[in-house]
Structure 1
Amino acid sequence: MKVSDILRVKGNTLYTVTPDEPLSHAISAMAEKDIGSLVVMDHGELTGMLTFREVILCIVKNGGVVGSTLVRTAMDDHPLTCTSETELDEVRRMMLERHARYMPVMDRRMLMGVISFYDVAKAVVDSQNFENRMLKAYIRDWPAGEEQQPGAQL
């Protein structure tokens, strides 16, 4: 399974912010849209990723206030990215290594979407559930006369 399979189901709604916007505006947008991340774009280029993790770290660093902090101060300026052709096993490995909950999907320099660790986990579980249903149907419909011999392996 590839990242493109997740994007196809997820849709193409993207939420972005610029690095020079006030962090307070970005936080408001995240709360309003009930999202955990914003892609930081500057003149059509990916420049960073803002997640609730970066927001919390910035607020703690600033003594519990956002103040006039800009997005660029809080954002991760080297976000982990993948392509729509990246295999989900590779995405899981990358996200686990970096403790990344969100990953922009890029096609060369164009933002195609964002996938979350939840999206990846859901895709894996859905795939396993489908496979389990197919295996159970196969076993239930086992052709007569082809019963497994004692000691034989499936």
Structure 2
Amino acid sequence: MKVSDILRVKGNTLFTVMPDEPLGTAMSFMAEKDIGSLVVMAKGELAGMLTFREVIQRIVKNGGQVGNTTVNDAMDSTPMTCSSETDLDEVRRMMLDRHARYMPVMDGRMLMGVISFYDVAKAVVDGQNFENKMLKAYIRDWPDEANAEPAVKI
């Protein structure tokens, strides 16, 4: 399974923010939309990722206050990315290695979407459920050896 399979099911809604936006505004938007990440775009290109992890780290660093912090101050400016052709097993390994919950999907310099660890886990479980159904159907249709016709000898 490829990342493109997840994006096809998930749809193409993207939530982005500019680096100079106040962090408080970005936090409010994330809460309003019930999302855990925003893609940070500058001049039409990926500039970083803002997730609740970065938000919390920045608030702690600021002594519990958001203050005048901008998205640029809090964002991960070097997010791990993948392409729509990346295999799902590779994405899962990458996300586990870096403890990443969100990953921008890039085709060249074009942002195609964002996948979450939830999206990856759901795709794996759905794939396993489908495989289980197919195996059960195969076993159910297995010929009964007692009633099987004898092999014809030539």
TM-score when normalising by structure 1 = 0.93
Show structure 2 runs of 5+ residues with no match.
148-154
Larger radius of gyration: 2
Deviation at 1:143, TM superposition (A): 2.3
Return the TM-score normalized by structure 2: 0.93
Tell me the secondary structure at the aligned position of residue 129 of structure 1: helix
**Residue 23 (1) aligns with residue 19 (2):** no
Instruction: Output one character per residue of 1:32-89: Cα deviation in whole Å (capped at 9) or x when no partner.
Output: 0000000000010001000000000000000111011000000000000000000000
Indicate the RMSD between aligned Cα atoms, in angstroms.
Answer: 1.1
Instruction: Identify the residue that residue 100 of structure 1 maps to in structure 2.
Output: 100
Residue 152 of structure 1 is matched in structure 2 by none
Deviations 1:93-120 (A, max 9, x none): 1001111000000010010000000000
Give the match for residue 85 of structure 1: 85
SS for the counterpart of 2:66 is coil
1:60-139 map, 5 Å: 60-139=60-139
Partner SS for 2:86 = coil
In structure 1, runs of 5+ residues without a counterpart are 148-154
Q: Percent identity?
A: 80
**2:75 partner letter:** M
Amino acid at match of 1:101: R
In the alignment, does 2:49 pair up with 1:45? no
The one-letter amino acid of 1:77's match is: S
The reply to whether residue 54 of structure 1 matches residue 54 of structure 2 is yes
> Aligned partners of 2:12, 2:78: CA distance in 1, in Å?
23
| CA pair 146-44 structure 1, distance change in 2 beyond 3 A | farther
Extract structure 1 runs of 4+ deviating beyond 3 A. Answer: 144-147
